[in-house]
Homo-oligomer: A and B are copies of this chain.
């Protein structure tokens, strides 16, 4: 994993800033013979796209993807088949609202990466957050849409499980509701929509923001993916999710709860199934033991901090070392965790695709 690349055999490199002409990704190492359409990619991008409800940023971006390499068109004129060479995908930035960055160009917004970019590089692209903009995640989602097709039978889904002080009722979990047109939150609990709506309207009107927890689940992960020590499947999932902007915590299976219970409570007992595979009587492990997939669903959660862009003035400093007060105007997500759902899915899909190829490389299976 280098600075702008992740994965070993299924490798994704992303590039682009918020206010440059475009952003994109290059997928290297994709197996040949994988079939998809640009509409398949677009479908995932549309799930992440800004401007779809009052609860997400009002920036208008069509996020139209172009596949520039690594595929051959099939006779139907729509289906693309991968050739095994790098797949380059490009998304143009359209709504780069022109404005005077004047003050912001010299101020360090608290909670943002402004100060740290300056400390690292000695200069920074202050336009719309530059490389740290959430727009970068569109490239991840495009890559994830390909990754989903690499592992036969793989199904990766995600959902918002809490927002600030409000949480879903797991008894109401309904995967089908997550992408429902009346669900602006990717929540799996229909009853939570009203609660989240009221709560987030209050946050939004106050010019504030709030954090969230997202859960992602991969079914159909073959037992054996992963590796014992520094190539653990859960370790790579943790890194992949932690690489999403604003994520401050990651857990696998019962996660931090595992620290509070006993070995008896935590063990996932096994019985032999009729199909020759074990049946696990529980899944506290979240589908990973010793860094290697058990064949159960892989379950991970990640904590997204509240957007740092808020209307309340905050104390900070500027490039000249002066104390200033910073207020962040502009178009922002009051709960950036909402749009993190398809991003988390994409990162999980890419990680599993990579391990699928790594496992096959070492073991031939």
- Give the interface of A toward B (CB within 8 A): 1-6, 8-9, 11, 13-17, 20-24, 26, 28-33, 66, 68-70, 72, 81, 83-88, 90, 108, 110-113, 115-117, 119-125, 130-132, 136, 162, 164-165, 203, 208-213, 223-232, 234-236, 238-239, 242-243, 245, 248-272, 276, 278, 281, 285-286, 288-295, 303-310, 312, 314-317, 321-323, 337, 357-365
A341 CB to closest chain B CB (Å) equals: 14
Q: Which residues of B contact A66 (CB under 8 A)?
A: 21
Question: Is the CB–CB distance between B230 and A4 below 8 Å?
Answer: yes
Question: Is the CB–CB distance between A84 and B363 below 8 Å?
Answer: yes
Q: Which residues of B contact A117 (CB under 8 A)?
A: 228, 290, 292
- Please pick, from B4, B13, B119, B290, the residue contacting A295 in the complex, using a CB distance under 8 A: B119
Q: Which residues of B contact A164 (CB under 8 A)?
A: 259-262
Contacts A2-B8, A270-B115; is A281 near B315 (CB within 8 Å)?
A: yes
Q: Which residues of B contact A120 (CB under 8 A)?
A: 32, 84, 223-227, 292, 359, 363
A85 CB to closest chain B CB (Å) equals: 4
Question: Within the assembled complex, what's the spacing in Å between the Cα atoms of A92 and B272?
Answer: 39
Question: Is the CB–CB distance between B249 and A252 below 8 Å?
Answer: yes
Q: Which residues of B contact A243 (CB under 8 A)?
A: 229-230, 232, 235, 291
Contacts A23-B69, A120-B84; is A110 near B268 (CB within 8 Å)?
A: yes
Q: Which residues of B contact A358 (CB under 8 A)?
A: 3, 9, 361
Q: Which residues of B contact A269 (CB under 8 A)?
A: 110, 314-316
